[in-house]
Structure 1
């Protein structure tokens, strides 16, 4: 494959977990853009949000995403808000195939409520905030090249295998190994 496969969607949808398994099966490098941002800043995303604010974070996110997309093709996991920026969507379209991991509220809530590292959910009503983000973001996520229903009952391996089958309809030259 001569393009990146870029995972987009809400926090907790499985972008990193499924993306890393997808990369392994396709013999492609895997990059988590949030991890790259944290490494470049030498601090966590929560710390960046607290110290510099969301706008600053989004600027760094675009810079890091641009650098990754300029590299050799691989599977990229993006942060939940990355696809919401029109400039990021243009960058991704120019260099890759976007895949929206569509996931329902209850599954997302079950996954993200286990961790306190989500800066956008540090509110009085985190589940309500998550529901509001879903209403705002899903119409924009739907602009992705491919929509993949991330099922709560799938293992990472089953989800990656289902995603490869779906991607082969769009990119027939994909080669998987077990």
Structure 2
């Protein structure tokens, strides 16, 4: 992450990290390689993930999806968490 980006994010509002386990991310990647050229190979994708993870974990709010939780339920849970921050 560029040094100034963290400050820009902080000033813009609340940062959120959706903490999806690497195994799930890797499972989703094969169909996205054309859309995500930096990922290239599975090894490169893991390398990028590992490099970026400390920055992601510095988010104001971290939410880990629960097994079987759909996007709508996760969004609702996140909305409640964010509401509590106001």
TM-score band, normalised by shorter chain: 0.7 to 0.9
Aligned residue in 1 for 2:14 = 97
CA shift for structure 1 position 151: 4.1
Equivalences for 1:150-169 in 2 at 5 Å?
A: 150-151=65-66, 153-169=68-84
Aligned residue in 1 for 2:57 = 142
- TM-score by length of structure 2 reads 0.84
In the alignment, structure 2 segments of 5+ residues that lack a partner are none
Q: Partners in 2 of 1:89 and 1:156 — Cα distance?
A: 26
Q: Partners in 1 of 2:19 and 2:50 — Cα distance?
A: 12
Q: Partners in 2 of 1:152 and 1:108 — Cα distance?
A: 14
Q: Partners in 2 of 1:163 and 1:113 — Cα distance?
A: 27
Ranges of 4+ aligned residues in structure 1 off by more than 6 Å: none
Q: Partners in 1 of 2:66 and 2:38 — Cα distance?
A: 23
Q: Partners in 2 of 1:86 and 1:136 — Cα distance?
A: 14
CA shift for structure 1 position 152: 5.7
C-alpha offsets along residues 97-151 of structure 1, whole Å, 9 cap, x if unaligned? 11111111111112221222111122xxx22222212221111111111111134
C-alpha offsets along residues 65-93 of structure 1, whole Å, 9 cap, x if unaligned? xxxxxxxxxxxxxxxxxxx2221111111
Is the contact made by 1:103 and 1:151 (CA closer than 8 Å) also made in structure 2?
no
Q: RMSD value over aligned CA atoms?
A: 1.6
- TM-score by length of structure 1 reads 0.44
Q: Partners in 1 of 2:15 and 2:36 — Cα distance?
A: 23
Q: Secondary structure at the match of 1:113?
A: helix
Aligned residue in 2 for 1:120 = 38
Equivalences for 1:71-82 in 2 at 5 Å?
A: none
Normalized per residue, which structure has more strand? Answer: 1
